[in-house]
Chains A and B, each alone.
Chain A
Amino acid sequence: MPRLAEAPDEAAALEQLHAGNMTDGLPVVIPTRRRVDALVLAGGLDGDVVLGTVGPAQGAATLHAVATNAVMAGCLPAHFPVVIAGVQALCDPVFDLTEVQVTTHSVTPLVIVNGPARAACELSSGTGCLGPGPRANASIGRALRLVMMNIGGGRPGLADMTVYGHPAKFSFCAAEDEAGSPWEPLHVSRGLRAEQSAVTVVATEGPHTVCCVPVPDGLQDREADIWISLIASAIGTTGANSTYFERGTITVILNAQLAGTFARAGHTRRSLQEQFVARSRHRRGYLRGLNPGLIAPGADDDVVHRDPATIMIVVTGGGGHYVMVCPTLGVGPHNNSPVTREISINPSCEVPLQQR
């Protein structure tokens, strides 16, 4: 049964939530009955339906509990179907959420939304889409973080043992720029149909910005090739867990302009993934010289192998010559595999949608 608390007013309720370690440190919207009920209605399911189990606490993510956290994050009813799919994705065992939560690493879920839900929620895939600023992006990403903290127990110093944390752990969500992308949408590349809406969660570090400036005259025909090597150097950064462990999915975020350059050079998502892998590999002996604790002796001339499918390419962002590369943790029984879940937009959510 959902548990209720009482306070003299909303300001006092906020202080109670802060004091109870139930916030992310920022002010939250107080999850009153009326606000939570509106989101439960938008979910189109009963409040006691369990969407998944959230590690490491193994807390039951009931629709009601998720709605409570989504209200706190500032979500509107229109956002809630995306939050639901996001929680289901996080709770998929192959995502290894417990490992993502408890590690001393700084890994956090990056949330990418595809399909018609992007417009319904007014999710941004433009300038500054990863924040701060766009309300839906910030609120949906924050809702998932609050679920991880309050239902999964991932509070800093208690069960979230990240050495430093980082700002993307507050919220890390964007839509894909499907209109600008030269390729099939991300969720289609992962087996869904274009007319479906979907959330994809992928465990990432904070992004590293790669500067892909236009090449000088005479090199234009090699521009895509030059940038692939440059981006690959960031993918294979020798400080990242994922370089040593050969597993975990590394995310490359391109805007439509840069993606177009690669497409005009004949690249598909798949061919780009293959090129990134081919140009980011290191020999075991070299890596062991840098970090002896992570590479066992032997077979020094062997190249650390990575499956091209473990490079996720996302097209989003505004104009400019920067690419972002997000290495990853790559630890867990399923190597923190990304998960894509369909967003179910139930007819019952039309009422709250119209009340926005």
Chain B
Amino acid sequence: MSVEYYLPTPEPVDVATYDLALDRSRPRLRIGLLANGFPDGEVFLTRLSEALSELVPGAEFRLETKGRTDQLSACVQEPLLSAMAADCDGVIIAWGHCGSCTSGVTRDGIAFAKRGIPSVTLICDIFWDYSLWLDGALGMEDLPKVRIPYPVAGTGESNHRAVARRIAPEILARFARH
């Protein structure tokens, strides 16, 4: 005789689709750089801004750190969220370098998307599948992100420069995709 049983998982949530794009033709393009507090995040974003400057002459950058090393999973809070949303045409978020980080930066991307601000999130490859799952679990698919090696933090300035130069074109492509 067959057995009928309940599934222990909830029904899937409704998921919105990310549909923003960065308008690179805007004069005085302002790109936000949001570090999450994981070691080397600010340093790497500075190297990234240098690489992007070569590809987008005239672009201006605003570097911010949203939290501390022990607050990695927290979403960007007010007043920083509103300030960056008002001041920036797009935001690059660094980085998904651990499980908590990946959760936090994914929430950041969604928070900016809800303000109409395009973003690109940097995710280490070992957390890539997790970040894709998070998009759906948190209700917004296809958030732009760029895969980076694991680790980048702690690998030194020359590697930071090399990774930044390598991913800069991909970041711009992901900003423009929609």
Contact = CB atoms under 8 A, between A and B. Distances in A.
A157 B74 CA distance: 21
Given A58-B137, A159-B133, A22 B9 contact: yes
B83 interface: no
A175 interface: no
Contact of A245 (B8, B70, B127, B154): B70
B93 interface: no
Contacts of B71: 331-333
A333 B74 contact: yes
A213 B168 CA distance: 60
A68 B7 contact: yes
Given A103-B99, A104-B98, A332-B74, A72 B8 contact: yes
Contacts of A17: 8
B10 A59 contact: yes
Contacts of B5: 4-7, 13, 30-33
Interface in A2-27: 2-10, 12-13, 17, 20, 22
A21 B98 CA distance: 23
Interface residues of B, number: 34
Contacts of A251: none
Given A99-B73, A104-B98, A58 B9 contact: no
B119 interface: no
Given A4-B5, A150-B9, A161-B98, A57 B137 contact: yes
Tell which of B103, B130, B153 has the most Cβ of chain A within 10 Å: B103
Interface residues of A, number: 58
Contacts of A335: 70
Contact of A103 (B69, B98, B138): B98
A79 interface: no
A153 B134 CA distance: 9
Contacts of A104: 98-100
Contacts, number: 140
Nearest to A150: B8
Interface string A15-52: 00100101000000011110010000000000000000
Contacts of B4: 4-6, 32-33
Interface string B1-23: 11111111111010000000000
Contacts of B39: 293
A105 B69 CA distance: 14
A63 interface: no
A84 interface: no
A150 B139 CA distance: 17
A9 B69 CA distance: 50
B16 to A, nearest CB: 14
A102 interface: yes
A74 to B, nearest CB: 13
Tell which of A36, A65, A98, A294 has the most Cβ of chain B within 10 Å: A98
Contacts of A32: 3-6
B8 A146 contact: yes
B69 A294 contact: yes
Contacts of B100: 99, 102-104, 331-332
A151 interface: yes
B3 A7 contact: yes
Given A7-B3, A98-B73, 16 more contacts: A2-B7, A5-B5, A6-B4, A7-B5, A33-B6, A65-B10, A68-B6, A98-B103, A103-B100, A104-B98, A150-B8, A157-B130, A159-B133, A247-B70, A331-B72, A335-B70
8 contacts: A4-B5, A8-B3, A31-B6, A102-B103, A103-B98, A161-B130, A293-B154, A294-B69
Interface of B: 1-11, 13, 39, 69-74, 98-100, 102-103, 127, 129-130, 133-134, 137-139, 153-154
Interface of A: 1-10, 12-13, 17, 20, 22, 30-33, 36, 56-60, 62, 64-65, 68-69, 72, 96, 98-99, 102-105, 146, 150-151, 153, 157-162, 241, 245, 247, 293-294, 330-333, 335
